[in-house]
């Protein structure tokens, strides 16, 4: 089983940006966490981060017939990007949405998730743990 983990804009700034919301751990430590979870569970993983909407669309398209599932934190594009929603629908790979923070307890503009409309499950407000929950959910869903 091979998963693609996609992180959107400013996730590379973890550890620097709004620590009161996102914590003090860096993006590098998030990558280590994800790789560790995948290793423990016999899951192959590739991680991708971009600050550019089109690059994320390209990564989703390139996942077609290459990956079994997608874990995605589209970050700010969650709330704006019909293009990412359409790309997820186009490849129709099982996708799970993750947010470090609880978007439903924040500003009203964060309460809408376009990407979430193409996802089988969403985890929000669990910090890094949300990625573990997403990976395990896909593992169970894919029966592996």
Among residues 77, 99, 114, 124, which one is catalytic?
99
CB 94 to ligand DQA: min, Å: 20
- Whether residue 83 contacts residue 114, with contact meaning beta carbons closer than 8 Å, is answered with no
Taking CB under 6 A as the binding criterion, the range among 36-44, 48-56, 69-77, 133-141 that sits at the site for ligand DQA is 69-77
The values of phi and psi at residue 14, to 5°, are -55, 145
Half-sphere exposure of 133 (CA within 13 A, CB side): 16
22 is a catalytic site residue = yes
Which residue, 75 or 95, has its beta carbon nearer to ligand DQA? 75
Task: Find the binding residues for ligand DQA in span 87-116 (CB under 6 A).
Answer: 99-101, 103, 110
CB 42 to ligand DQA: min, Å: 26
Among residues 22, 77, 124, 131, which one is catalytic?
22
Q: In what order do the strands lie in the sheet with 69-73?
A: 44-49, 2-7, 69-73, 95-99, 121-124
137 is a catalytic site residue = no
Q: Supply 141's token pair.
A: 């869903």
Contact flag: residue 37 with ligand DQA (CB under 6 A): no
Q: Supply 80's token pair.
A: 């704006």
Contact flag: residue 78 with ligand DQA (CB under 6 A): yes
CA angle 40, 58, 65 (to 5 degrees): 55
Q: Which residues bind ligand DQA (CB under 6 A)?
A: 10, 73, 75-76, 78, 99-101, 103, 110
């Amino acid at each position: 089983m091979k998963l693609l983990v996609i992180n959107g804009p400013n996730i590379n700034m973890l550890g620097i940006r709004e620590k009161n919301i996102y914590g003090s751990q860096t993006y590098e430590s998030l990558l280590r966490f994800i790789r560790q979870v995948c290793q423990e569970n016999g899951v192959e993983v590739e991680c991708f981060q971009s600050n550019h909407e089109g690059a994320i669309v390209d990564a989703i398209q390139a996942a077609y017939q290459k990956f079994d599932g997608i874990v995605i934190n589209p970050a700010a594009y969650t709330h704006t990007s019909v293009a990412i929603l359409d790309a997820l629908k186009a490849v129709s790979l099982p996708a799970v949405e993750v947010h470090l923070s609880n978007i439903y307890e924040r500003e009203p503009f964060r309460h809408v998730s376009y990407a979430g409309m193409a996802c089988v499950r969403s985890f929000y407000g669990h910090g890094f743990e949300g990625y573990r929950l997403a990976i395990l959910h896909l593992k169970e869903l894919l029966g592996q």
